[in-house]
Amino acid sequence: MIETERVYVGLGSNLSEPIKQLGEALCALQKLPNTRLVAVSSFYASDPLGPPEQPRYVNAVAALATTMPPLGLLDALQDIERNQGRERKAERWGPRTLDLDILLFGDRLLNEARLKVPHYHLHARAFVLYPLAELAPASLRLPDGRRLTDLLAACPFNGLEKLDSVSVDNR
């Protein structure tokens, strides 16, 4: 029997109506095979990490229960990104319609060419940690032993704005 694993996925957008983009992505996540959308964090606005001349991002985290293998889920997430107009360019951290990142995949440590889990910058990104903390148990330890509470304490809320009453009608 294939075991269901809890997976946390980071969502981000700063082009083409970001709140709508995240809503459509959540709808698409609900349609993934062998996967259930368990919970979604609040939406947050954040400053871009890359080039300064781009709009602010809207970010959230989704919790999934899935039996999909990690690279199969990664492929499915990249299909969702492409279907929503994502174009992968050489420039990192540039503007995008949608970014879906696997943050945690159960208790797995993965170091594949295409996938690093826990996500390699999770510890330094307030726009990931604070939404993740809304969904994850307070006692959450990452597979590498780090505690979520310790990561939060080392990563200030600066630059984040929790968006009030975002309605995601697409879910």
H or E element in which residue 57 lies? strand 57-66
At residue 16, φ and ψ (nearest 5 deg) are 55, 60
User: Is residue 158 classed as helix, strand or coil in its secondary structure?
Assistant: coil
Distance of CA 67 to the CA centre of its chain: 18
User: Is residue 119 classed as helix, strand or coil in its secondary structure?
Assistant: coil
Residue of 88, 96, 108, 144 marked catalytic? 96
Residue of 88, 101, 108, 125 marked catalytic? 101
Q: Is 47 marked active-site?
A: no
Q: Is 92 marked active-site?
A: no
Residue of 6, 36, 86, 108 marked catalytic? 86
Q: Is 88 marked active-site?
A: no
CB atoms within 10 A of CB 93: 12
Residue of 36, 56, 99, 147 marked catalytic? 99
CB 129, CB 151: distance < 8 Å: yes
Q: Is 125 marked active-site?
A: no
- Positions marked catalytic: 86, 96, 99, 101
